[in-house]
Structures are given as structure tokens and as C-alpha cells.
Structure 1
Amino acid sequence: MHTAQLKPTDFAAEADGRPVDFSEIFRDWHQYDRFGIVVHDALGPIGASLLVQAAITSFFTFDTGRRSKRPQYPEVYLFHVGRGRGECMMLDFVPSRKEVVVDADPTDLVEAINDRAITRLAVPQGEPRHLDLPHQYGWSERQSAEDRISSAYVYSPTGRVRDPDLILRATSTRTEDNCDQTVNVESLLVDIENKTDEELTALAATLPPYSGFPHVRPYCLTDHLVTVATSRARLSEVPDDVRAAIWEGRTALRDNGLAVESYRRIAPIEALNLLMPPT
């Protein structure tokens, strides 16, 4: 839960062409908010990395006890449509159950979003398609999603959308470091896999929140190694050349070395019409 170290000051936001406070990104964030992002493309969340990390920051800022007194991973969920689109543990979609692979079926996808009680939803830029849910109680599933989702955002895997009305800028390197380790994760895996048992045990004892909670430490090493093994098993979902192209594309998003991403805010009913990839 390294993202627990993020602060609102790590972001600068503009809405409708004017600077706004961090709290305006997810207005009226509350205790039970859950962020979800629908992904059609390889490592698609990289294009929405600042929005993802802003949601995580909102989760911890609302209740700072979640960072230390009651340590927990953020309630953020990634919905891979059709197949796995690249594991994103370094954006803190942890544990692995928070990355959900869903068939390219609209009913399955809406049900998955409802099952996780998503209240803030990001969907990829595309051509709207009327969401027909012919399965049992599909009409109810759609209306449940519309009722519960309080804000929705269009993002692009490239980091820039058409006709944006929300701009997010990084103000520190922390957010981009998390992107780097997501795209170029193999070097991180190799580093961990090459450590001795003694080195891993020492590392585990220093990782937040475990360092402050001795009763949690025995679980840390196992948790960490299971996560690393999962990431290694999913590495082939995104070939090396695609990873290289994604990382090269990040350079076009930087201003003075820091990423700038754009989004478009939309109504939840519009977001549901962007759930499915192109036919």
C-alpha cells in the first residue's frame, strides 16, 4: 500500500479551464465510495493513472486511519474486459481479486460493477453503444448502477481525451514512479525474486503498514511473495514491445518532466453506454 503515501498536494486539477481544489476531482467523497475503471486496452489504467491515484488519495485522505491505525488497501477495482489486459499491482489494485476479468458481455460487466458497489466509474473513450441487458433482471441491474454511481469519467489509454473538461497534473514524481513500476514491472520482480530469504524478511519488516504493527508482520512476507508470483504469471498479457511503446508514449504527456492527463466528466447513464469495446 505504497500509494498511502500520496497526498492531495501531489496533484493539481483544472475543471472547465480553471484551477480547482483537489476535493473537486471527486466531489463529496464519502466513507463508502469505491472507484472502478473499465479497461479495453493493454495497461489501459496508465492513461488514467492520475485519476486512479487521486481516487486512492481520496480514500486515504477521507479517513487517515486507513493509512496507519487501521491499515488497509484502497477500495479501487479494475475491470478487464474480454481478457486480462495487464496486471497493475503497483497502482495498488491489491489484493489480486480487485482486478476482475469479465467476459465481453454487457450484463456480466454491469453485474461485476454492481457486485463491487462501485460509486465512481472511469470508462474508456469510444463510440457509445446502447447497453442492452437482455438477461434476467438486466433492466434492474442497469438502474441499480445508475442510482449508485455518483460520478463518471471518460479517459483514454493514451492519457488525453477529446473535448476534455478535467485536467490533472502531477506535482511530484511519486505518481509517475508508480506508472513506471507498473509498465516496467519485470525489473521490480527480478529484484525481489533474487533476494535471499533473510533479505526478504528484513524488507518485509520495513514495509508500511507492517513496520508499525508487529502482529501483522508474519503475514507480510507471504502476502508480498504471493503478489509477486501473481504478477509474474500475468506478465505475458502485455508483450515487451507493447510495454515499451506505452512507456514511450508517456513522454508526450509530460510538462517539465511531470505527467498531465485529461478527462471528460459525464453522467453515469452515459458511462454505461461506453462499457463495451468496439465490435
Structure 2
Amino acid sequence: MHTTQELESASFEYRVDGDVVSRETVMPSVTSEDRLGVVMGTGGEGLGAGSFILSCIIAFYDHLGETREEDFFEHPDYYTFQTSADLADYRMLDIYPDHKNVSVEPTAEQLLRAINDRAITTLLVPDISPTSQDVADITLQSAHRRIDHCHTYAPDGCPSNVDFSIRHPRQPAHDWFKTTTESLHGDSTTCVPSFGPDDDWILQQFREISVEQALERLPV
């Protein structure tokens, strides 16, 4: 919940073709029931989706504040799916506790089973070349039934054929990103990408895709 001490909904700016738009124009709505999943190869790659994650985190806490009368201490059911044994810890982006950073065998079937088991409703996948995946029909049916929104991201924040961008203050998000890379066995040599040319702002871009297109981009 520490993110809400530094960021609020007004911290984020959304643009389509250079024009400022509302969050609702480009992002899925967020309730306490929604589940976000970010798929990545190496643990640091998912930072390219960091702005999307943080936007959803703040929207989640805004929703709780509007719908709960009593005080609360909760974290959303958001997950990372990493096809690496060296897991990055995304707790600084409020993906917590650490069991929500999931190490998965790098096969499409195992990845999609892990995604289905956690009832993911919004799925982010890396912007890689699509390939045909060998997945059981029953696994595919479950994914199509549960997943409502899919987007591509890029480790450097710049996927191809983007639909929209998210911008927010560089600090303290950059420090949170750096702590995430350092969780990789204390590997401080992994650098956080610049994520935009402005020293004061982080800028990341995204593209909305179909469930079928997302499944073709699982990093296996």
C-alpha cells in the first residue's frame, strides 16, 4: 500500500496520438475482484509494464476507498509470471506477498495453467514475435472464459504499433524499479531502462490485443 503515499490517480497522464485522454479511454476498469497478470521471461523485463501496474494499483485503492466504510489493509490479487528460476520481487510495485511472483516452466501449457489457476482477468505479455503454441483445448477454454483484457508491453517501454502511453513522475517509481532489479540475487548491475527522454517523467507505451494474440506471445 506504500504506493498510495506517493502516487494518486492525478499522477498519471494517458495519451493517444499525442492527445491527453482519460484513463477510462485506454485502461480497463478496476474493482477489488479484478486480477492482473504480467508475463515475462527474465525477472526485470516486466518493469516495461510498471506504469500499467502502478496505474491499476492506484485505481484498486481508489475503488476500495470509495466502497469500504471501514479502514482496510489489503493488496490486490496481482501477479507476475516469470519463466526463470531467478525471480524478481515486485513488492515495491505492491505485488505482494512474494508468492504472487510465480516461477513457471517456460512452456505455453504451464504458463497458461498458472494464469488460469489465478483467475487472471487482465493479462500483459511482452511484445515478441507471435508463434503457434501447443496448448490443450480445455486450458484455452478456461483462458477465454476468464481473461477480459490483454495488452503488450516492451522491456524498454516501447512496443511496436502502440495504442497509448502512460506518463507519471520518475520518482519514486524509478527507485522502486531499481529495488526490483536488485532483488535478482542482489544483482545491482541490471540497469533500469530510461523509459522516456524526460528526466522528471517515466513514459511507457502499450497496445491492446486479443486473447488469441496474447497467447501467441507467451515467452517460451
Instruction: Flag the 1:154–1:51 CA change in 2: closer, same or farther, 3 A.
Output: same
Deviations 1:159-203 (A, max 9, x none): 1111111101114634333223323x4xxxxxxxxxxxxxxxxxx
**Aligned equivalents of 2:172 and 2:61: distance in 1?**
16
Deviations 1:124-162 (A, max 9, x none): 1101112221xxxx2121121122111111011111111
3-state SS of 2:141 partner: helix
**Aligned equivalents of 2:43 and 2:114: distance in 1?**
20
> 2:159 is matched with which residue: 161, 178, 184?
161
Preserved CA contact (<8 Å) 1:10 1:172 = no
3-state SS of 2:180 partner: helix
Instruction: Flag the 1:24–1:63 CA change in 2: closer, same or farther, 3 A.
Output: farther
**Aligned equivalents of 1:4 and 1:130: distance in 2?**
40
Extract structure 1 runs of 4+ deviating beyond 6 A.
none
3-state SS of 1:41 partner: coil
Q: TM-score, normalising length from structure 2?
A: 0.89
2:51 corresponds to which letter in structure 1? L
* RMSD, matched Cα: 2.2
State how 1:136-175 maps to structure 2 within 5 Å.
138-171=136-169, 173-175=171-173
State how 1:227-242 maps to structure 2 within 5 Å.
231=183, 234-236=184-186, 239-241=187-189
1:53 matched to 2:54? The reply is yes
User: 1:2 maps to what in 2?
Assistant: 2
Preserved CA contact (<8 Å) 2:127 2:154 = yes
2:218 corresponds to which letter in structure 1? L
> 2:129 is matched with which residue: 127, 147, 163?
127
Deviations 1:103-132 (A, max 9, x none): 012111111001111101110110111222
Q: Which has the larger radius of gyration?
A: 1
Q: 78-87 or 55-64, which moves further after superposition?
A: 78-87
Identity percentage over the alignment?
28
Instruction: Flag the 1:72–1:27 CA change in 2: closer, same or farther, 3 A.
Output: same
**Aligned equivalents of 1:23 and 1:62: distance in 2?**
14
Stretches of structure 2 that go unaligned for 5 or more consecutive residues are none
3-state SS of 1:169 partner: strand
More helix by proportion, 1 or 2?
A: 1
**Aligned equivalents of 1:75 and 1:4: distance in 2?**
16
> 1:78 is matched with which residue: 77, 80, 90?
80
2:185 corresponds to which letter in structure 1? L
Stretches of structure 1 that go unaligned for 5 or more consecutive residues are 186-230
User: 1:180 maps to what in 2?
Assistant: 178
2:8 corresponds to which letter in structure 1? K
User: 2:207 maps to what in 1?
Assistant: 264
User: 2:91 maps to what in 1?
Assistant: 89
Preserved CA contact (<8 Å) 2:157 2:205 = yes
